Amino acid sequence: MKKVKILPGCISCGTCSYICPEVFEVKDISYVKSDADLEKNAEKIKEAAQMCPVGVIEFEE
């Protein structure tokens, strides 16, 4: 079961929602959309996690 978590410390840069708008939505901070398809977007989620400048995206596979 895949899980995505945003740890404390997001600086709202928008990188994750730029890379994968299907999963991430940045308001005051980044949120994982409740209807996000984590299976289908796994590769893009990993890319977003790698590109996050403060490393707060946690992806469990």
Q: Which of residues 26-55 bind ligand SF4 (CB under 6 A)?
A: 26, 30, 52-54
Instruction: Establish if 16 lies at the interface with ligand SF4 (CB under 6 A).
Output: yes
2, 3, 11, 50: which one binds ligand SF4 (CB under 6 A): 11
Residues 56-60: contacts with CB under 8 Å, at least 24 apart: 56/6, 56/7, 56/8, 56/9, 56/10, 56/30, 57/4, 57/5, 57/6, 57/7, 57/16, 57/30, 58/4, 58/5, 58/6, 58/7, 59/2, 59/3, 59/4, 60/2, 60/3, 60/4, 60/5
Instruction: Establish if 14 lies at the interface with ligand SF4 (CB under 6 A).
Output: yes
Give the residues lining the site for ligand SF4 (CB under 6 A).
6, 10-16, 26, 30, 52-54, 56-57
